[in-house]
């Protein structure tokens, strides 16, 4: 595949990954209330209803795990995942091409518009030389940042794979959620999964996607604002549910 096609696919997939991470984080905020909070558990008295509630908790948790694991799925041209994007730009020549394009974009920016025109030709030349040098310097800095951001993204994904995905979340998904897998596909792995791992994996995915989006598309995302909004939305939803306490039901 031509480098240009790989780079274009990586840019498009990185855009899609932003939306996937946003969706995974929104689902995780709600899951945390249903699975980790004692507020809901306290509303379920000892009865058969507790079994149904446990299944609800498992369903929400499993859904969060599936969404997180999909972000770290193996690279494939038809699969939107972090490994697909990183694999597309893993070649040194491909990264160099992205870096040079970034350099060219910043180095060829025009002069900022001025409210009044400058009539003195010497001053106009001084200003033109200043902005030419300034843009060239910005281009060099942004070019170096491309290499750094791609490297950081790779390290984040590798760390998430090593600590959270490879031996914990992915086997958990394969053994308890992907029921159509054969025994050979499961490889008889011992599953070691702790609650909260899915949230940590989402945070790793968020950081990696942000670095890749900056490197490939030159833009970032207001993750802090998004997280505050999602946390507020989930909290208001669960707080506004009119649950009765066991004491109220006995009254």
Tokens 């989930």: give the residue. Answer: 234
* Residue 46 within a domain: yes
* Residue 132 within a domain: no
* Residue 198 within a domain: yes
Residue 77 has pLDDT above 90, yes or no: no
* Residue 212 within a domain: yes
Give residue 44's pLDDT. 66
Query: pLDDT-based confidence at 145, cuts 50/70/90?
Result: very high
- Encode pLDDT of 205-242 as tens digits: 999 999 999 999 998 888 889 889 988 888 888 777 65
- Encode pLDDT of 10-35 as tens digits: 999 999 999 999 999 988 888 887 77
Tokens of 112: 């900022």
- Find the radius of gyration of the CA atoms of the chain: 25
Q: How far apart are CA 40 and CA 170, in angstroms?
A: 28
Task: For residue 54, give its domain range.
Answer: 3-90+145-250
pTM score = 0.81
Q: How far apart are CA 66 and CA 100, in angstroms?
A: 37
* Residue 107 within a domain: no
Q: What share of the chain is helix, strand, coil (3-state, %, to 5)?
A: 75, 0, 25
Domain count, the chain: 1
Query: Which of 7, 26, 100 is closest to 64 using CA atoms?
Result: 26
Give residue 182's pLDDT. 47
* Residue 98 within a domain: no
* Residue 14 within a domain: yes
* Residue 31 within a domain: yes
Query: pLDDT-based confidence at 5, cuts 50/70/90?
Result: confident
């Amino acid at each position: 595949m031509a480098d240009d096609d790989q780079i274009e696919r990586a840019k498009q997939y990185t855009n899609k990954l932003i939306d996937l991470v946003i969706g995974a984080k929104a689902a995780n905020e709600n899951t945390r209330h249903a699975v980790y909070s004692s507020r809901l558990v306290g509303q379920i008295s000892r009865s058969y209803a507790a079994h149904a509630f446990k299944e609800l908790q498992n369903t929400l948790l499993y859904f969060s795990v599936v969404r997180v694991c999909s972000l770290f799925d193996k690279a494939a041209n038809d699969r939107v995942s972090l490994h697909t994007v990183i694999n597309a730009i893993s070649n040194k020549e491909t990264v160099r091409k992205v870096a040079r394009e970034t350099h060219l974009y910043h180095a060829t920016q025009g002069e900022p518009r001025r409210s009044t025109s400058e009539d003195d030709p010497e001053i106009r030349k001084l200003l033109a030389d200043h902005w030419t040098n300034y843009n060239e310097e910005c281009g060099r800095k942004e070019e170096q940042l491309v290499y750094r951001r791609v490297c950081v993204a790779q390290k984040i994904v590798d760390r998430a794979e090593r600590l959270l995905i490879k031996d914990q979340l992915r086997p958990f998904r394969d053994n308890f959620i992907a029921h159509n897998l054969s025994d050979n596909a499961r490889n008889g792995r011992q599953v070691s999964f702790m609650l909260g791992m899915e949230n940590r994996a989402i945070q790793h995915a968020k950081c990696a996607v942000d670095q890749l989006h900056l490197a490939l598309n030159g833009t970032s995302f207001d993750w802090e604002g998004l997280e505050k909004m999602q946390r507020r939305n989930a909290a208001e939803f669960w707080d506004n549910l009119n649950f009765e306490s066991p004491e109220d039901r006995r009254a």
